[in-house]
Amino acid sequence: MSHARLASRPFSQLLLALLIALPTILCLVSAVPLRAQGGAAADASKTAAPAPDVIFFTNGDQLTGKLLREAGGSVTFHSDIAGDITVTWDKIKSIRSSQQFAVIQQGQHVTRKTPEADVAQGSVQVQDDQVHVTTGTGGATKDIPVKNAQYMIDEDTYGKELRRNPGFLYGWTGAMTAGAALIEATQNSRSFTGAATLVRTVPTVSWLDTRNRTTLDFNGAYGSISQPGTVGTKTNIIQGDAEHDWFFSPRFYFLVDAAWDHDYSQGLSLQQSYGAGVGYTVIKSPKQQLDVKFDIHYEKQQYFITPGIVPPPPLTPSKDLVGADFGDTYKLKLPHGLVFNQTALVTPAFNISSAYSAMATAGLLFPVYKRLGFTVGTLDNYLNDPAAGSKKNSFQFTAGVTYSLK
């Protein structure tokens, strides 16, 4: 009996301890789901979408959406209802945004070597003609008058454009145009025109100095007219060129270029040139840009006998030329989304003075819907020494539908 009583004492003490600790254990177990729920709620709050931006106008209207950027006093704001709108500072009363931006001030020159502290970066609020930038360090606020805020760029774009080295496929912009006309009657007439311009500028933004630029151009026109009992006629003009620029200052650059021209109406089988030179950006602003260029190049002109001439003239011999290009390119953004483009080029030859040429283009783009537009343009090509029997001047007027790549 004494041994049984002694053996039962540890069990009774253990049972008593469990009964005493049971409330504590139940409290701990019940706390686990609550902690998990609390953690899930915290995670949900971390991943919740940021509050939308709001822009308030001086006339009392307001829009909810996303602040995209500001450049040269024009603010671009996206709304699901209105799309992308661009307004000037004088029409804006205030802006409330939860995003991070970098604000570049008037006269501030930003490069890859610019210290981070020199550029105001953080969340922005616009009120009383001031851009209030709240930095992440201690919540300090820097106030910049809106008239001094030259550019306002979202944090992601600022970092990518300033620091990274993009691949070859990055940053291409441009437009493609096509037009056609068909006539079926006593005379059968067909005409087709096409053009494409591709431009790649690195960086792609105007608030950084351009490091390099690539331009590709193509123009083509084909037409034929036929009538029973007569000899048919046709037109076939193809032009293409390429240029790559390396900027050694914000406005000066070295360039290499090449051009290829075929003009059936001038008896020109192929005119090809390859050269190198320099360029200078005379005007550069958000609304317009003017570049002037000069190069020294090798040029070869090859001809065939111009058709339709009776009796057929002799074959014009090919020419090997050393010459120069003097030219310009100009782009102007007009109100209501219209864009005007112009180029001009004069090409004298040093070794055969009579073999000079010139070329000029002009085009006006009318926006229609999103990236679709309508373009009218002209192309004038002058060849002072064409194939025997051919006219010196070739003029085209084109109209067609345009698709803008960006």
Cβ-based neighbour number of residue 82 at 10 Å: 10
Residue 139 in domain: yes
Answer whether residue 41 shows pLDDT above 60.
Answer: no
Query: Domain end: 108, 128, 163, which one?
Result: 163
* Residue 141 CB partners (closer than 8 Å, separation 6+): 132, 133, 134, 135
Residue 6 placed within a domain: no
- Same structural domain, 263 and 330: yes
For position 386, which CATH number holds? Answer: 2.40.160.40
The CATH code of the domain that includes 105 is: 2.30.30
In a domain, 98, yes or no: yes
Asked if 367 and 315 sit in the same domain, the reply is yes
Peptide bond into 23 cis (omega under 30): no
pLDDT of 5 > 50? The answer is no
Asked if residue 111 is part of any domain, the answer here is yes
Asked if residues 256 and 246 have their Cβ atoms less than 8 Å apart, the reply is no
Assess whether 181 and 159 both reside in one domain.
no
- pLDDT tens-digit map of 345-375: 999 999 999 999 999 999 999 999 889 999 9
pTM score, whole prediction: 0.76
Question: Are 252 and 391 contained in the same domain?
Answer: yes
Domain count, the chain: 2
Same domain, 137 and 189: no
Per-residue confidence (pLDDT) for residue 45, from 0 to 100: 45
- Do 341 and 369 belong to one domain? yes
Amino acid at position 79, single letter: S
pLDDT in tens, 330-343: 999 998 889 999 99
Residue 368 domain-assigned (yes or no): yes
| Domain boundary residue, one of 123, 138, 163 | 163
Is 36 within a domain?
A: no
End-of-domain residue from the set 163, 192, 227: 163
Same domain, residue pair 150 and 120: yes
Rounded Cα distance, 131 and 144, in Å: 5
- Residue 312, domain extent: 172-404
In this structure, are 111 and 215 located in the same domain?
A: no
> Are residues 162 and 169 in contact, defined by beta-carbon separation less than 8 angstroms?
no
Q: Are residues 76 and 221 in the same domain?
A: no
Per the domain annotation, does 188 fall within a domain?
Answer: yes
Task: Please tell me the distance from the alpha carbon of residue 64 to that of residue 73, in angstroms, as a whole number.
Answer: 20
pLDDT at 391 over 80: yes
Beta carbons within 8 Å of 2's beta carbon, 6+ residues apart: none
| pLDDT of amino acid 260 | 95
Same domain, 309 and 344: yes
| Shared domain check, 377 and 258 | yes
Residue 124 in domain: yes
pLDDT in tens, 44-98: 444 556 789 999 999 999 999 999 999 889 999 999 888 889 999 999 999 999 8
104-112, Cβ contacts within 8 angstroms, sequence gap of 24 or more: 104/149, 104/150, 104/151, 104/152, 104/153, 104/207, 105/144, 105/148, 105/149, 105/150, 106/147, 106/148, 106/149, 106/150, 107/150, 108/150, 109/209, 110/162, 110/207, 110/208, 111/208, 111/209, 112/162, 112/163
Tokens of 107: 């006269």
Q: Are residues 88 and 225 in the same domain?
A: no
Q: How far apart are CA 35 and CA 400, in angstroms?
A: 66
- 100 pLDDT more than 50: yes
